[in-house]
Chains A and B, each alone.
Chain A
Amino acid sequence: MNSHPGELIIEAGRSQRQYWRDLWRYRELFYFLAWRDILVRYKQTAIGMIWALIRPFLTMVVFTVVFGSLAKLPSQGVPYPILVFSAMLPWQFFANSLSECSNSLISNANLVSKVYFPRLVVPTSAVIVSFVDFMISGIILIGLMAWYNFIPSWRILTLPLFVAIAFMAAMGAGLWLAALNVKYRDFRYVVPFIIQFGLYISPVGFSSSIVPPEWRLLYSLNPMVGVIDGFRWAILGGEAQLDWSGFGLSFGLVTLLFISGVRYFRAYERTFADVI
């Protein structure tokens, strides 16, 4: 049998050349899995999608009261709720993605052990679901801006770039955790901790300008610092400053996280069905 254009060769340890082509062929599955999760989430709930608005809104209120009114932290010249919410958006996106993503393979174990498709589809769909929530919460931000008569500058046009970085950060960390979780279920307990811990060490309730300059670079080792600062820079405009060296460091780490995440996932993907 000579080699044939449409021929598929299955062998041990072969990194499948057709993997990316398959990923393209299964592109609709991204959509269907995300659609399923969104559909299922609000089945048999009375207020449905409104939950996606209530949760970030209430958190924003609490943060504004605690950090803005009680602790009286500086607000970079913008209404404190907007300051909080412009960070809340990427953080919620990251946190939701991380928890959904890390559990995605386990909760779809029946699929993984019974059907073939590029496994990257599963965690990616989980991130897409969180992205939909992110878009919905974006409505609150627009509402807040209207309420405070806040007009963003031209910088808001760069926002998609920072959204993309947030996406990469969420995917990178998510893929690592998803793959590790298949093998070591310990990560089920690690993830909630990372998220809780991360909320405090990321500049969500406050501006990163309160961090002393000599610590800024160290602070930027947290990849979400760059993402959140970027969001604030784009949304708030005006006085919001972006520490470019810190941002560069965060961005570099996000890229590294993303690439290593994909590679690690790809390397272990083939054994998922045996281990899960």
Chain B
Amino acid sequence: MSNVLVQVENLSKKYTLGQQQQERYQSLRDVMAKQVRKLGQTFLRPKHSATPAKEDFWALRDVSFEIQQGDRVGIIGRNGAGKSTLLKILSRITEPTQGQIRIRGRVASLLEVGTGFHPELTGRENIFLNGAILGMGKAEIHRKFDEIVAFAEVEKFLDTPVKRYSSGMYVRLAFAVAAHLEPEILIVDEVLAVGDAQFQQKCLGKMQDVGQAGKTVLFVSHNMGSISTLCNQGIYLKQGQVVYTGSIHDTIKTYMMAFQRGESQAPGVLFKRELCSSKLDAFQILEVALHDQNLELKPVTQTWDFVRIRIHFYSPRPISHSSVELAISTYAGNKLIQYSTQPLSGIPLSFAEGEAYIDCVIPKLPLASGSYQISVGLAMPMIEWLCWEENIATLEVGEADVYRSKLPPHQDRTPVVVEHRWECPGQKPLTHESVYTFGY
């Protein structure tokens, strides 16, 4: 294979706990004390190695994968799964304990926005400094200077020390510098979590441009929306090991499934809280499940199906004026539906202490095939949230050719599917058979 840009083989990284967590750096006194103790032990109990074995922690274990040129790879996994360690090794900040990586091409990594920014220096000075730290030459920075400034929208403040910048301006400038690197392989860690929505969109757009220019991108984020728009391939890491690699869509799906349900759940149950203790003491959602007209669990859901979304919840105390909210959004985070018993439906509810459930019945589910996120909350309407559990469940909607056109509506084309028809002037509703020619 000639277009493999990154090849990772059996990569492992070990940290020794204690060195890593309690105190990152040692003091000489500790080292000497330890040596003396060890010496004492060899004299007193020569055969017995009594020193407590340092605990090893494998941040990565036998990770192998390949990245082709032009791939935009999203790395997902929970906190502590080894994502950042992987990126750190790939960008040569730290060394692997075992294994090998072969990289062909210039790597630029952006693990943090504004690394090396100095608060006392002006925006202009920081552009040069940060550029140099990220590996740009002076001439290169000069060439891109105007573009960077325009992207960051800080023209007026170029000669102000960045310590006087608003945090938004700071982040914009920092990202702008990094975004104008021109590497063959760009490594980006969770940097879009900052800045306002508009700027995040701009950053994503910029990164998409990079991807479309045939550059290879490795991207870590917890925002499934930006990962799914940006990437085409995915790697799912769990406890330092690769669980799944494949198309980004399937990777995210695998991850979400594993994340939301404890391994074994009845089909149709979208979410079930694993109760650590038997004692409940806060408002919370216990279960979200889909039922059909016969009140049976509904394992498969299609566009325009009848669905009954049953929400089990717990109320630790009676609440006289309360409501349940249900929201459905796309993976990209666009909210499609947010319904509530109160104020939207105007139904007064009151919770008794204890567990209860409520059904939200949607006679004709107006969602195209694809995956959606469900968020559920309890509230005292217009006063306060009692709890709000964002994206606790994934709703998979299957294909149904509801318009009888042999093109079942899909999420990417139109997430919302409503009954509608087309009419031409002076004609009855158009059908598959009707042919209408405009003009005379």
Instruction: Name the contact of B129 in the complex, choosing from A26, A32, A273, A276 (C-beta under 8 A).
Output: A32
For B105, the chain A residues whose CB sits under 8 A away are: 6
- Interface 9-residue window, one of A92-100, A112-120, A158-166, A219-227: A112-120
Is A82 close to B, CB under 8 A?
no
Q: Hey, what's the 0/1 contact readout for B94-134 against A, CB within 8 Å counting as 1? A: 11111111111101010110011010110001001100111
A9 and B101 in contact, given A113-B93, A116-B93, A184-B28 (Cβ under 8 angstroms)? yes
Q: In the bound complex, how far is the Cα of B188 from the Cα of A114, in angstroms?
A: 11
Closest A residue to B94 using CB positions: A273
Contacting B at CB under 8 A, from A19-57, are 25-26, 28-29, 31-33, 35-36, 39-40, 43-44
Q: In the bound complex, how far is the Cα of B90 from the Cα of A116, in angstroms?
A: 10
For A26, the chain B residues whose CB sits under 8 A away are: 135
Q: In the bound complex, how far is the Cα of B225 from the Cα of A49, in angstroms?
A: 52
Instruction: Name the contact of A186 in the complex, choosing from B24, B27, B93, B133 (C-beta under 8 A).
Output: B27
Is B54 close to A, CB under 8 A?
no
A25 to chain B, nearest CB (A): 8
For B28, the chain A residues whose CB sits under 8 A away are: 184, 186
Is A1 close to B, CB under 8 A?
yes
Is A10 a contact of B103 with CB atoms below 8 Å? yes
For B128, the chain A residues whose CB sits under 8 A away are: 32
Is A43 a contact of B24 with CB atoms below 8 Å? no
Instruction: Name the contact of B133 in the complex, choosing from A7, A113, A117 (C-beta under 8 A).
Output: A117
Q: In the bound complex, how far is the Cα of B19 from the Cα of A40, in angstroms?
A: 34
On B, residues with C-beta under 8 Å from A are: 1, 4, 7, 15, 19-20, 24-29, 31, 88-105, 107, 109, 111-112, 115-116, 118, 120-121, 125, 128-129, 132-135, 137-138, 161
> How many residue-residue contacts, CB under 8 A, span A and B?
120
B110 to chain A, nearest CB (A): 9
Is B31 a contact of A184 with CB atoms below 8 Å? yes
A29 and B133 in contact, given A1-B7, A43-B120 (Cβ under 8 angstroms)? yes
Is B96 a contact of A11 with CB atoms below 8 Å? yes
For B27, the chain A residues whose CB sits under 8 A away are: 184-186
Closest A residue to B112 using CB positions: A114
A117 and B135 in contact, given A1-B4, A32-B129, A275-B24 (Cβ under 8 angstroms)? yes
B18 to chain A, nearest CB (A): 12
Is A183 close to B, CB under 8 A?
yes
Is A266 close to B, CB under 8 A?
no
For A35, the chain B residues whose CB sits under 8 A away are: 129
Closest B residue to A5 using CB positions: B104
Interface centre among A7, A113, A116 (most CB of B within 10 A): A116
Q: In the bound complex, how far is the Cα of B99 from the Cα of A23, in angstroms?
A: 25
Q: In the bound complex, how far is the Cα of B26 from the Cα of A174, in angstroms?
A: 20
Instruction: Name the contact of B115 in the complex, choosing from A25, A110, A184 (C-beta under 8 A).
Output: A110
Q: Hey, what's the 0/1 contact readout for A108-136 against B, CB within 8 Å counting as 1? A: 00111111110000000000000000000
